[in-house]
Amino acid sequence: MTEHRDTSLGLQDNTELLHRISARLSDRFAGIFAAETVERYVLESYTALARTAKITSYLPATTEHFASDRLNALAKSKGAIASGVPEVLFVCVQNAGRSQMAAALLTVEAKSRIHVRSAGSLPASELDPAVVAVLSEMGLDLSRNYPKPLTDDVVRASDVVITMGCGDSCPIYPGKRYEDWEVPDPADQPLETVREIRDLIQDRVKTLVDSLTKETTLS
């Protein structure tokens, strides 16, 4: 049986588990979203991740994390909750290399002063092993990270959207800061090249942190 066939059967097999995830998230977002909205987000998130999941046993955990983050983003974009810090979204094609590196590096550099997300216009099934390796050299563990599809809710919740090689797949909304970083794709590159890409992204991340923290101070 193929992996695609396994994931298509997974929704039926995991119905009870998905209901439990929906119940937990309904409790967490009580007073903000109806239970029906939460359940729809859980099922949509599961289906989106199942399309590319390489190891389906991880799907329940990644579904709960992904659905929770999307609901947080939706609540923020509707003004139901306040983040208190700038929100940055990194987007590339597969969310397996550049955007994952940028998100990990910004998370460390920002020291909780910025909320960071990443997504892909056509997400891969797993992170690029070379990307995982070069960030591990810096003490950054990406073992729990996974490629996520780009969704409208996370774009709406973001103050800054940074694209890297994904063309015009990201929707444009007024009042947001958009940047396009010309960063080489690390896919199929030797470790030395991926390290250079990592360092290039880190330099850009430091500049971004400086600009966002200055804007926050001035405001």
pLDDT for the residue 11: 55
Mean pLDDT taken over the chain:
90
pLDDT in the model for residue 10: 54
Report the distance separating Cα 57 and Cα 61, nearest Å. Answer: 9
Asked if the model's pLDDT at residue 200 lies above 60, the reply is: yes
Q: How confident is the model at residue 205 (pLDDT cuts 50, 70, 90)?
A: very high
pLDDT for 213 beyond 90: no
Q: How confident is the model at residue 190 (pLDDT cuts 50, 70, 90)?
A: very high
Using CA atoms in the order 121, 124, 128, 132, what is the torsion angle rounded to 10 degrees?
A: 80
pTM of this prediction exceeds 0.85: yes
pLDDT of residue 173: 82
Q: In this prediction, what percent of the chain has a pLDDT beyond 70?
A: 90
Helices 129-136 and 191-218: angle between axes, nearest 10 degrees? 70
The whole-angstrom separation of Cα 192 and Cα 197 is 9
Quickly count: other Cβ atoms within 10 Å of residue 217's Cβ: 7
Averaged over 24-35, what is the pLDDT? Answer: 97
Q: Cα(203)–Cα(105) distance, rounded to whole angstroms?
A: 10
Which of 108, 102, 115 has the alpha carbon at shortest distance from 179? 102
Burial call 130-159: b when 16+ CB within 10 Å, e when fewer: bbbebbeeeebebeebbbbbbbebbbbbbb
What number is the average pLDDT over the span 60-88?
Answer: 94
Predicted local distance difference test score (pLDDT) of residue 1: 33
Q: What is the pLDDT of residues 132-161, one digit of tens each?
A: 999 999 999 998 999 999 999 999 999 999
pLDDT above 90: percentage of residues in the chain:
78
- pLDDT of 174 reads 84
